[in-house]
């Protein structure tokens, strides 16, 4: 259901219900929540990559697992801790969108720090197709990532958002060919795993929090976080490496 392995400092989490297009059900969400907690705790993990098995990233909510009473507040109770865990993770999180990412599957990808996608993949908000509103974080992340106008357009029409549109909108960092997609996405994540982990974590916090800040608040928060980054071993190594004209060897501390 969820396959977990480590490669090159990256904790790879593979949504693995390929026969159902990796649709999300309570068991898969619970496994994902546990895996994210473990990735946060494990000091050897320097980045996380979330991807899907087979031809989908995730087709969203398992529509066969919708409870008869359609108590969506209860269903969403399984999603909220997963989205919060992705957002809180103090390590780079990459969604490697190997195939369709629809509905709550797209929401999962939006909650990652960065997204890369395969040439044959597409996003689809999908919620409107079943008469629902965006959830699992989509209403929070999508307008912040691509602007309210485009987010509304996508949520109303639920088009297939392919690589070109996704890249133009700033939704994805890179598009890789379908053949060799996993390896290319892993190399992208591995590069982040070799970086200054604490500085990434502080940058993530800084950028998101300062979206809501005044200028003076933002400047003060930058100073606070720079003080924290400046106290890391990786900063000292970065300075040393510059002076010694060599590549830095960051340890994530
Ligand atoms: O509580 C809450 O509020 C949380 C709610 C979240 C809401 C959502 O996530 S709403 C959006 C839910 N997702 C969708 O509406 C997408 C539904 N799926 C599709 O539109 C298509 O399946 C795809 C575009 C993803 C792929 O199409 P295609 O033609 O490549 O494949 P397919 O034949 O449709 O799907 C393959 C199998 O996966 C098929 O099963 P079968 O016939 O081989 O036994 C299909 O039923 C199954 N499948 C696909 N999506 C889902 C699914 N099974 C359960 N839930 C799915 N979401």
Going by CA atoms, what residue is nearest to atom 39 of ligand 1?
20
- The tokens for 121 are 């993949």
Mean of pLDDT over the chain = 97
Ligand 1 pocket member 107 (CB < 6 A)? no
Which tens digits make up the pLDDT trace of 131-167?
A: 999 999 999 999 999 999 999 999 999 999 999 999 9
Domain 2-193 listed as CATH 3.40.50.300:
no
Cα 63 to middle of ligand 1, angstroms: 7
C-alpha to C-alpha distance for 36 and 30, rounded to whole angstroms = 10
> Which of 59, 104, 122 most suits a substitution to test ligand 1, by most atoms within 8 Å of the C-beta?
59
pTM flag (> 0.85):
yes
Q: For Cα atoms 15, 87, 143, give the angle at the middle one, nearest 5 degrees.
A: 95
DSSP 37-98: HHHHH-TT--EEEEEESTTEEE-SB-TTS--TT--HHHHHHHHHHHHHHHHH-SS-EEEEE-
C-alpha to C-alpha distance for 151 and 142, rounded to whole angstroms = 6
Which tens digits make up the pLDDT trace of 53-98?
A: 999 999 999 999 888 999 999 999 999 999 999 999 999 999 999 9
In the chain, where does the domain assigned CATH 1.10.12.10 lie? 197-243
Ligand 1 pocket member 76 (CB < 6 A)? yes
Question: What's the CATH architecture for 197-243?
Answer: Orthogonal Bundle (1.10)
pLDDT value of residue 80 = 98
Give the Cβ contact number of residue 205 at 10 Å. 15
- Which numbered atom of ligand 1 lies nearest the CA of 100? 25
pLDDT value of residue 169 = 98
Which tens digits make up the pLDDT trace of 17-47?
A: 999 999 999 999 999 999 999 999 999 999 9
In the chain, where does the domain assigned CATH 3.90.226.10 lie? 2-193
Helix (H, G, I), strand (E, B) or coil at 123: strand
**What sign results for the dihedral spanned by CA atoms 49, 78, 107, 144?**
negative
Q: For Cα atoms 85, 90, 96, give the angle at the middle one, nearest 5 degrees.
A: 70
Ligand 1 pocket member 133 (CB < 6 A)? no
């Amino acid at each position: 259901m969820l396959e977990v392995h480590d490669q090159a400092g990256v904790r790879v989490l593979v949504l693995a219900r390929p026969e159902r297009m990796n649709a999300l059900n309570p068991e898969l969400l619970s496994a994902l929540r546990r895996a994210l907690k473990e990735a946060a705790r494990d000091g050897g993990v320097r980045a996380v990559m979330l991807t899907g098995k087979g031809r989908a990233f995730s087709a969203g909510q398992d529509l066969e697992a919708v409870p008869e009473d359609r108590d969506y507040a209860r269903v969403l109770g399984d999603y909220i801790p997963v989205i919060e865990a992705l957002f809180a993770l103090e390590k780079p999180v990459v969604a490697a969108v190997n195939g369709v990412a629809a509905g709550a599957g797209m929401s999962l990808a939006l909650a990652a720090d960065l997204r890369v996608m395969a040439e044959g993949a597409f996003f689809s908000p999908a919620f409107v197709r079943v008469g629902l509103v965006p959830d699992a974080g989509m209403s929070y992340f999508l307008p912040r990532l691509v602007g309210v106008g485009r987010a509304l357009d996508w949520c109303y029409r639920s088009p297939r958002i392919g690589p070109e549109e996704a890249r133009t909108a700033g939704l994805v960092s890179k598009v890789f060919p379908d053949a060799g997609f996993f390896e290319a996405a892993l190399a992208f994540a591995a590069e982040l795993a070799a970086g200054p982990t604490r500085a990434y974590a502080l940058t993530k916090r800084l950028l998101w929090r300062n979206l809501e800040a005044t200028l003076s608040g933002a400047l003060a928060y930058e100073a606070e976080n720079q003080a924290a980054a400046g106290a890391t071993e990786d900063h000292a190594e970065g300075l040393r490496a510059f002076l010694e004209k060599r590549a830095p060897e960051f340890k994530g501390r």
